[in-house]
Amino acid sequence: MRNLKYLFRNSIVFLIFSVLQIFSLSIFFKSQTYQHLSFLNSTSGLSNTVLGWQYAYKRYFNLEGENQKIKKNYLALLQKSPQSFIKISAFETRIEDTLYKQEYAYIAGNVLRSTTHKSDNYITANIGKKQGVKRGMGVINHDGLVGYVYEVSNHYCLIKSLLSQNINIDVALDSGQFGFLKWFGKNPKYIQVSGIPNDTELKKGIALRTRGTGGIFPRGILVGKVHTFNFAEGESNWDIQLKPSVDFRSIKSVYVVKHLNKQELDDLESRIE
């Protein structure tokens, strides 16, 4: 009888252990796929209070006011620059001033926290649904491409940075050849690009920019510069190491890209079967 009691007691500990394990691991593996969890991340409740404090004490180290001013000026310029506009008519391009219509708008935010050491890295920013941020929007900053919005709450958003496995954003050379970004979780200083054929001429320092398909990013946003390139084993592609133009370890501000005609674009593309 005593043995039985002992056995029962031991197995109940193991049972509770298993239940807790299954619960936490299932959340973890669910988060690995592109599935959205609205709890247990830094966009929710308690933890963004903590993040708010963290931000408040950290920003003494930044020249906050100066930063804001520069950002405002930059945004004003960006909204006027040609890459934010789309031509109304393909035929009448002579008087360019009145023939462009704005296609992209930008929402500025500050970074509350960012990581570079995990196998999927996220950035938390202090803009959310109230500012018009939605899931899947692209994110850039004044240095170049940052990532895309993974999760939004009312006042905060979680950005999946380029330092994530399966990020798969398409990037192009100025000559038009395009490839995809990959990251294997090893070195936060370099990202990999695959899919660019190895008969393309490359040089160290050549810039790769966004291709602008899918209406997530404008065309021509700087992603990074080629650091090294080798023949990929068993493929006719280059294996490129890219140095991202954004320094993810010291990132302070981000701009979320809003495509003004996104709905229209999606509706049209959804007709392909």
- Please report, as ranges, the residues that interact with another protein according to CB under 8 A: 12-14, 16-17, 20-21, 23-28, 30-32, 37, 40-42, 44, 46-47, 50-51, 54, 57, 115-119, 122, 124, 158, 184-186, 188, 249
| Identity of the residue, 29 or 264, whose beta carbon is nearer to another protein in the bound complex | 29
Question: What is the spatial distance between Cα 216 and Cα 213, in angstroms, rounded to a whole number?
Answer: 7
Q: Smallest gap, in angstroms, from Cβ of residue 124 to another protein?
A: 7
Cα dist. 23→16, 17, 118 in Å?
11, 10, 21
Min CB(245)–another protein separation in Å: 20
For residue 32, what are its two tokens? 């690995």
The phi and psi torsions of 235 (rounded to 5 degrees) equal -135, 165
Residue 14 or 91: the one with the smaller Cβ distance to another protein is 14
Cα→Cα distances 235→135, 189, 216, 260, Å: 35, 25, 29, 39
Is the Cβ of residue 163 or residue 256 nearer to another protein in the bound state?
A: 163
Closer CB to another protein, 37 or 88, in the complex? 37
3: Cβ contacts below 8 Å, ≥ 6 apart: none
Biggest distance spanned by C-alpha atoms of the chain: 95
Residue showing tokens 């593996």 = 29
* Amino acid at residue number 227: H
Q: Residue 213 in 3-state DSSP?
A: helix
* Cβ 230 to another protein shortest distance, Å: 19
Cβ distance to another protein smaller for residue 80 or 249:
249
